Amino acid sequence: MRLVRERRGQFIVIAALLISIMIVSVSTVIYGTVTYFKYERWEEYLTIVDSVRTATNNLLQIRLANYSQIGSPPNPPPTLRDNLNQWIGDVRKAYPGFGVDLSYSLASGVKSAFGMTLNYNLGLARRWYQSTSFSAANATFNLNIASVGLTGYNFTADSFLKVTIRDAVWYGGSNSVSIYLTVDREGPEPVLSLLKSNFVVVKASNVTQSNFTLRRYYSSTFNSFIYEVQINSISALPSSVELTIHDGRGMRVISASIPRSS
């Protein structure tokens, strides 16, 4: 009788042990599956955030490039606002079922950026025909993804191109004018890849010049990499010099200065 009871007790213990092992095994599998699923979903959401942010920055660059190609109206046209409204609709259509919602606020008024004071109107700012000239765009975005509960993700998109004429000198002995300038983009960081073809218009005393050379080097005088534009066959001190520059993104800046005699 005692032997039967002992065997029955051992069976209960073994059965309980097996059930415990099964519960632990199933829990491990379920936990691993859920963890993997969450990880994979978050990777997908992070990809959406990164794609939207990158494409938004690219759109801002394109709009600034287009804006910088026109003349100098008193106020910038509302092209940036119109394009961003269309972009918001495109983003929603691109990710159906995710509940992606993108909103924006255009920079307005005086703001400090890139070591300068910029005056934005409808997200755009521009100052030309000075020794330090620039074209700029700025907008702040808010991104929500309802399907994952992501709300209030903010990022700022900036585009910027600045041309600074550090010096302009007329050398009477060689009948030439040398213009020393630096070019910077958002960061700010120097633009070091410009070619002669990027200098689309070079003027001296409002006369377009085709006889000029370009070189880039590090200048200890200005403690920076500079571009030197040398205009040849200039027999008298020009009243002004003017440069129109395009960078690789198509953004344009017109900078001007009054040269001095060497």
Q: What is the pLDDT of residue 36?
A: 40
Q: Where along the chain do its domains lie?
A: 164-261
What is the pLDDT confidence band of residue 2, given thresholds at 50, 70 and 90? Answer: very low
d(CA 77, CA 152): 29
> Residue 233: which of 258, 257, 204 has the closest Cα?
204
The alpha-carbon radius of gyration of the chain (Å, integer) is 31
Asked whether the predicted pLDDT for residue 31 surpasses 60, the reply is no
Asked whether the predicted pLDDT for residue 14 surpasses 90, the reply is no
Asked whether the predicted pLDDT for residue 19 surpasses 70, the reply is no
Q: What is the pLDDT of residue 66?
A: 87
Average pLDDT score over the chain: 84
d(CA 57, CA 218): 31
d(CA 168, CA 229): 9
Task: Report the share of the chain in percent with pLDDT over 70.
Answer: 81
Domain 164-261 belongs in CATH node 1.10.287 = no
Signed CA dihedral, 53, 59, 62, 66: sign only: negative
- The one-character DSSP state at 251 is -
pLDDT tens for residues 209-244? Answer: 999 999 999 999 999 999 999 999 999 999 999 999
Asked whether the predicted pLDDT for residue 1 surpasses 70, the reply is no
Q: What is the pLDDT of residue 8?
A: 53
pLDDT tens for residues 95-118? Answer: 888 888 999 999 999 999 898 999
d(CA 136, CA 160): 4
pLDDT tens for residues 186-210? Answer: 989 999 999 999 999 999 999 999 9
Average pLDDT over residues 126-153: 91
- In angstroms, the Cα distances linking 28 to 34, 85, 227 are 10, 48, 64
Which has the higher per-residue pLDDT, 3 or 83? 83
d(CA 209, CA 228): 15
Q: Find all residues with CB under 8 Å of 188, minimum gap 6, and list them.
A: 114, 115, 160, 162
